[in-house]
Structure 1
Amino acid sequence: MNGSQSAVIFIIDDNPANLKVLSQVLEMSGYKILIAMDGTSGLHRIHKALPDLILLDIMMPGIDGFETCRQLKDSEKTRDIPVIFMTALASSGDKVKGLSLGAVDYITKPFQQEEVIARIELHLKLRRLTQTLAEQNQQLKAEINQRQKVEEHLKILSRATEQSPSSIVITNVNGVVA
């Protein structure tokens, strides 16, 4: 079992058979599973336990997968969670629409277990790498800010010594001029 397999996967699908098969496959692979049978309940539940990835059916009663995805991507809390659409719709227009709404991938039904696992692992890895990169960028920004403060302080000291009417001599600890 690798690190991505302890991830939480949220499945939103109105088909009980799909939910059962996906849940079993993913649980056998070590993932934790959350389930919703429609977009509305999925949107309500997702804020209580933020998943690492969402598998989202397109054709559902009430709000469809496209609208569910749009609302997920509009929310600051859920916008960075990867969404993979699961659909029997294989038209380019549907794929383009889903990707333009912020989905990261498509799985066509009926799905192959190995393909589902491979796509999930890929997008979980990409998410972890993106998060690591963001953390490193924050650290670099903090370091740059600290260096800028030190540089500004050195400029002030330099101006003070240049404009001082007194002589300044720098020596080592033994009093020898450096």
Structure 2
Amino acid sequence: MKRTIYVLEDDADIGELINFLLTEQGYVVSVFGSIAAFKRHTEHNVLPQLLIIDVMLPDGNGLDVCREWKSADATRHVPVLVMSAYEDYRNDNRAQDADDFVGKPFDIKSFLRTVQMHFH
């Protein structure tokens, strides 16, 4: 079975880097630049096995998406990794719903270990 990851990241360069890194590790990756695009896709497609969400997005806050995802019966079992350059978000009440937090900029090896950890 393919290991599927959805990435919600509005910075095209970071999204491309994450896509490259994870694809090289054998994951099937879909990157979305907005909450709207992410929601349109998830309405009609198979759920991922991991969701990576940036906090600051052009059409909302990734922590709110995390909270919605973790409060829904259909998606609460899917691990959510939240990413932000602002460490303060690690302590935000909405971040408590996340399974993990990655600070930006991130160390590539550490990032890949964190992702891999959620598949074992």
1:65-144 map, 5 Å:
65-91=62-88, 94-97=89-92, 98-100=94-96, 102-125=97-120
Q: CA deviation at 1:49?
A: 2.1
Q: CA deviation at 1:118?
A: 0.4
More helix by share: 1
User: Matched residue pairs, number?
Assistant: 118
TM-score by length of 1: 0.62
Q: What is the one-letter code of the residue matched to 2:104?
A: K
Matched, 1:23 2:23: no
Q: CA deviation at 1:21?
A: 0.4
- Percent of matched pairs sharing the same residue: 23
Matched, 1:42 2:47: no
More strand by share: 2
Structure 1, unaligned stretches of length 5 or more?
126-178
Task: Answer yes or no: is the 8 Å Cα contact 2:66–2:95 preserved in 1.
Answer: no
Structure 1, residues 13-38: CA drift from partner, whole Å, max 9, x if none? 00000011000010111110011111
Structure 2, unaligned stretches of length 5 or more?
none
Counterpart in the other structure of 2:54: 57
Q: Which region of structure 1 is more displaced relative to structure 2, 42-51 or 30-39?
A: 42-51
The structure whose RCO (Cα within 8 Å, separation 6+) is larger is 2
Structure 2 Cα separation of the partners of residues 41 and 75 of structure 1: 19
